[in-house]
Amino acid sequence: MSSSLLPPNASKLERDIEQVIASSLDLPLSIADLWDPFRCPLSLLPWLAWAYSVDQWEDSWPESVKRQVVNDAFDIHRYKATPYAVQRALNSLGIETNIIEWWEPNGSNVRGTMQVNALVKDKGIELTDLIQISKALTSSKRGVIHAVIRPVFQSSAAMTHAATTLSAQITEIGYYTLSELISEGEFSVMAGSFSALSVTVEAISI
């Protein structure tokens, strides 16, 4: 039985066109997969990002970040200009951050300002990371909000031994000016432990 939908008197040209159209529609995956951020082929993901109106996109991002950014796009656009949207946009980048508005505890107490702490642990932070944070803030926050990005370097370590022990963290800071250094920790003999340090660097104001 023929699968053709053409009538018996169809011309050869019409049958050839039908074959061309049929082969072009024989896709190796379903249409639903093409619209799923986590199942879409990586090579087609930039087009899906465009279709989802993703505000920020970098070809150098890891695949996991690209898929998460596309997945979060609808939610960010839905709540755009709210603290929730700003935090969601930042979380999509895979960089741990927290937002402190001016009226919250430890806030600036200056109306229309927001502080974004980028929590950086052992892997450090690059200038490109701060630029990405700045772009995510600009595209998701309210236009009247003035935001300050503060990279906060955190490291903790604990060791126990029958004698005095000490563990340390060396932090190398480049590009930025060190404006605040906070070190907290405890140390004891016979069950020695040391936990430190927290370094805050004032970096970008947008």
The string of pLDDT tens digits covering residues 145-188 is 999 999 887 665 555 544 455 554 544 444 444 445 454 544 44
Residue 106's region, left for phi above 0, alpha for psi from -120 to 50, else beta, is left
Is the residue at 47 inside a domain?
yes
14-44 residue pLDDT tens: 999 998 888 777 767 788 899 999 999 999 9
pLDDT, position 85: 95
pLDDT, position 2: 66
Is the residue at 23 inside a domain?
yes
pLDDT, position 155: 62
Q: Is the dihedral angle over the CA atoms 38, 43, 47, 50 positive or is it negative?
A: positive
Domain count, the chain: 1
pLDDT band for 189, please (50, 70, 90 cuts).
very low
Closest CA to 114 of 84, 154, 71, 79: 84
Is the residue at 21 inside a domain?
yes
pLDDT, position 36: 95
Is the residue at 30 inside a domain?
yes
pLDDT, position 20: 86
Cβ(73)–Cβ(85) below 8 Å: no
pLDDT band for 127, please (50, 70, 90 cuts).
confident
Mean pLDDT calculated for residue range 118-128: 78
Residue 206 has pLDDT above 80, yes or no: no
Mean pLDDT is lowest, of 83-87, 101-105, 174-178, for 174-178
Cβ neighbourhood burial of 169 (10 Å; 0-12, 13-18, 19+)? middle
Is the residue at 188 inside a domain?
no
Is the residue at 181 inside a domain?
no
pLDDT, position 158: 55
Structural domain span for residue 36: 12-151
Cβ(165)–Cβ(130) below 8 Å: no
Is the residue at 74 inside a domain?
yes
pLDDT, position 186: 47
pLDDT, position 41: 93
d(CA 60, CA 39): 20
pLDDT, position 123: 66
- pTM beyond 0.75: no
Is the residue at 166 inside a domain?
no
pLDDT, position 120: 75
